[in-house]
Amino acid sequence: MKITFLGTGKGGYPTLTRNCSAIMLECGDGIYLLDAGAPVLDLMTRLEVPFEKVKGVFITHMHGDHTAGLPAFLTACSWHYTDCSFDVFLTEERGIAAFREVVLAMDKVFHEDRIRLKKAEPGVLYRDENVTVTAIPTAHCQPYPSYAYVFEGEGKRVIFSGDLRRPDAPDFPVIALEEPSDAFICELCHFTTDHIFPIIEKCPAKQVFFNHVGGRVVEETLAAVEEFAKTAPMKVIAPDDGDSYTI
């Protein structure tokens, strides 16, 4: 299983060094996206990703920094990459309707027989020959739905927190504390490092990746991660855009 961090930046907008949230997971012969912040299509193209291998797109919530790259991605996979066939899980019915209309407005045709927009629901959401994906509700944008995701495949388990609720992550996914994982990908934008590090220390994860890096000064947040990594009971990394790791 391979994880590539396409965009690792904080919410709302890109910076000179970090794009908006998007992660690519490769397992077996499949490719899976977790969130689709802009410019996900461009980033995947530059990596020469075989788009016909994309099997699923999993959106944590509807905020623009996690979804703004989706219209271009859907349009390209509908009309240009004609071998594409995959499911796209969005958290709200109105999101499904809105993205359908955007693609139709841009391209006039949307091949929904191949690019299937679906509503995410709690529990086992997706299963194929490579992975099983479970959606766990969070409270990031209550009363609207948002999710953490668990990917299991090739004998590995990866937990992705998605965005959590300010200011102290009361919706931190319990599974990350109670069950071992090969990798836990945790956002680091909506709470302080002083609050989240003691929680992370309790996680039975082999390694933790801090993604969606925020804070008032990103450099200070990254410095705090570097210090935490020296004493943490697991491997701790704050990836840059484009970094890949084999789990």
CA–CA dist 244, 178 (Å, integer): 27
CB 37 within 8 A of CB 20: yes
Whole-angstrom Cα distance, residue 151 to residue 10?
Answer: 23
Looking at 125-184, list the stretches that DSSP marks H as alpha helix, in order from N- to C-terminal side.
Answer: 174-178
- Pick the catalytic residue: 29, 35, 42, 65? 65
Residue 147: which of 132, 158, 129, 163 has the closest Cα? 163
**CB-based contacts of 191, cutoff 8 Å, min separation 6:** 164, 166, 167, 168, 169
Is 65 a residue of the active site? yes
Whether residue 167 has a cis bond before it, omega within 30° of 0 = yes
Catalytic residue ranges: 65
